[in-house]
Structure formats: structure tokens, C-alpha cells
Amino acid sequence: MGGTTGDTADALSIADRGFASRLLLGTAGYPNQQMMLDALAAAEPALVTVAIRRISLEPYAESLVDLVGGRYSLLPNTAGCATVRDAVLTAHLAREALGTSWIKLELIGDRETLYPDVEQLLRATEELVKDGFTVLPYCNDDPVTCRKLADLGAAAVMPLGSPIGTGLGIINPYAIERICTTSPVPVILDAGIGTASDAAQAMELGCDGVLLNTAVAKAHDPRRMARAMRLAVAAGREARLAGRIPKRSQAEPSSPQLGLVGG
């Protein structure tokens, strides 16, 4: 372990592209667009996700793409798609309209839990990789699924911390840590982040980045929460690199108590 400190020395790399930030932020559900822009400015995200199915891809003044596109790198997602065909079509639309071959692949199998449909996710990943896309699939917190996605050519895997929009944090830290240990591609924790400590925990478990949206968009003060998330991701990453001490069952004083002069 050399003396690697500072953000620039520790860039996130996905598909050979470097990012100064390890935070990815979504654009949905803010009180208004100005608040979203302020939150983005405070978060300084590596990538900004947009739901292709939910917006118009026709360019017009003050549209989401118009406001965000020139300033941030967009990561289109396939939210709202339920079949391989839908997702592939949406990815192609996004590539044409936004000029990026990066796609966050989201294939929901169940409207109640919003859990991914793994079977279709694997097939869509395979197809999109063949079509030349850089695919970042949103997936279950399952090391086997993550491994299969990576083997199919996914550029990163994005396991869920807990179901979308719940803010329950990381409900299975063991699984996330296992995925981070075994994954040959970067691991971005996606979904379930409720507050800053959840984001820090993801980084401490070994994730390469965190994607979140609702925790910032629906906070009482989205700007402040965006800043908190940026700091938490950076803090969690630093803690991970620094190496945490082992947990002990017995207390041990932090300063020595024996052999003190005059003690």
C-alpha cells in the first residue's frame, strides 16, 4: 500500500473511463428543476441518470436534457421496461438521442418490490453488449448473478442495497461485501440509500461507487443532503482504503496505562 491519497489518485474507473467522483445521482422527484440543479452542483456526481422512458427525447428549451446534458455526463436508464425487447429498444433510443452508448439496464420483474427480473436481465445484458453498449445492470444483491453479469460483459454491476425508494439502507451487508470481494468489474451500490451513513457503509464494504436519487430528491433540504452524500461517499472510500481495525470483544485503552512516569 503506497501513499495514495487525494481524490485524483483514487479515480473510479469503469470501462476504461476515469471519474473523479464515486457518486452517481438520479434526476427524478425533486421539488423543482432548480433544486435538482443545485443538488447536482453540491453532489458533483460522476454520472447523472435519466429515465429515457419518462422524458421526451425531442429537444426543447428547459427540458431535462437541455438543462443537464451540457454540464454532466448522462447515464440513461431503462426504468419502466419490463421485457428484454423494451429494454433493448430503449437503449437504442437513448444512444441515438443522447449520443452515449452507456446504459443503466433496469428490468423490473415485480411492481410491488421492484426487484429485477434476473433471467431477462442476463439476456438483455448479453444482447446489448453484443450491440456495442457499455452496460451497467441494476441487479439483486446476489454474488452469483453479479458474477454472471460480469461474465456476459457488463462494465459494472449495480446490486441493490434494499428495494428502490425504501431508504432502508443496506439490508444484507454480507452479500454486498461478498459481491465486492468476488466481482471482476466495479460494484456500484444502487437503490435503498436513505441517509449519508448508508452511502458511507457501502463504500466501507468495498463498493466502488454509490448511485442514489430519492434520499436526496425527497429530503427536506436536497442541496444539503446532496453535499452530505458527496462527503459520505468520500469518507467511506477513505475509510475503506485506510483499513478498519478488527472488532474486539474486550475493551482496550487507546493510550497505554502501564509504565507511565509518575503513574
Partner 1 sequence: MLAAGIEAEPGEEALYRLNRLSQELWPGFAAALETASGIAVDYRGEGTLAIALTRDDVAQLRFHFDFQRSLGVALEWLSGAEARRREPHLHPGLAAAVFSPHDHQVDNRRLVTALRRAFLAAGGALHEHAPVSAVEIAGGRVTAVRVGESRHAADVVVLAAGAWSTEIAGLPRAALPPVRPIKGQMLALRMDPAAPLLRHVVWAPRAYLVPRRDGRLIVGATTEERGFDSALTAGGVFALLEGVWRALPGVEELAIDEMWVGFRPGSRDDAPLLGPSAVDGLVLATGHHRNGILLTPATADALSRFILRGELDAAIRPFAIDRFAAPLKEEA
Contact positions vs partner 1 (CB under 8 A): 31-35, 37-38, 40-41, 44, 54-56, 58, 60-64, 67, 71-72, 219-223
Smallest distance, Å, CB 63 to partner 1? 6
The alpha carbon of residue 23 and the mean position of all alpha carbons in its chain are separated, in whole angstroms, by 6
Q: How far from 146 is each of 5, 67, 97, 152, CA to CA, in Å?
A: 29, 34, 29, 10
Q: Which element (helix H / strand E) includes 42?
A: helix 33-43
Task: Give the nearest distance from C-beta 57 to partner 1 in angstroms.
Answer: 9
Q: Does residue 106 sit in helix, strand or coil? A: coil
Rounded to whole angstroms, the Cα distance separating 122 from 235 reads 33
- CA angle in degrees (0–180, nearest 5) for 43-225-61: 55
CA–CA separation, 165 and 218 (whole Å): 10
What spatial distance separates the first Cα and last Cα of the chain, rounded to whole Å?
38
| Nearest Cα residue to 135 out of 180, 95, 182 | 95
Could you confirm whether 104 is annotated as catalytic?
A: yes
In the bound state with partner 1, the residue whose beta carbon lies nearer, of 129 and 171, is 171
Closest to partner 1 by CB, 62 or 96 = 62
Query: Minimum distance between the CB of residue 45 and partner 1, rounded to whole angstroms?
Result: 8
Which one of the listed residues 104, 130, 148, 218 is annotated catalytic? 104
Instruction: Name the one residue in this structure whose C-alpha cell is 461474465.
Output: 151
> What's the closest the beta carbon of residue 40 comes to partner 1, in angstroms?
8
Residue 219 Cβ vs partner 1, minimum distance, rounded to whole Å: 7
- Closest of 208, 204, 228, 207 to residue 216, by C-alpha: 228
Task: Tell me the chain's radius of gyration from C-alpha atoms.
Answer: 20
Handedness of CA 122, 160, 35, 80 (dihedral sign): positive
How many Å apart are CA 135 and CA 81, to the nearest integer? 15
CB of 154 to partner 1, least distance (A): 26
- List residues with catalytic annotation: 104
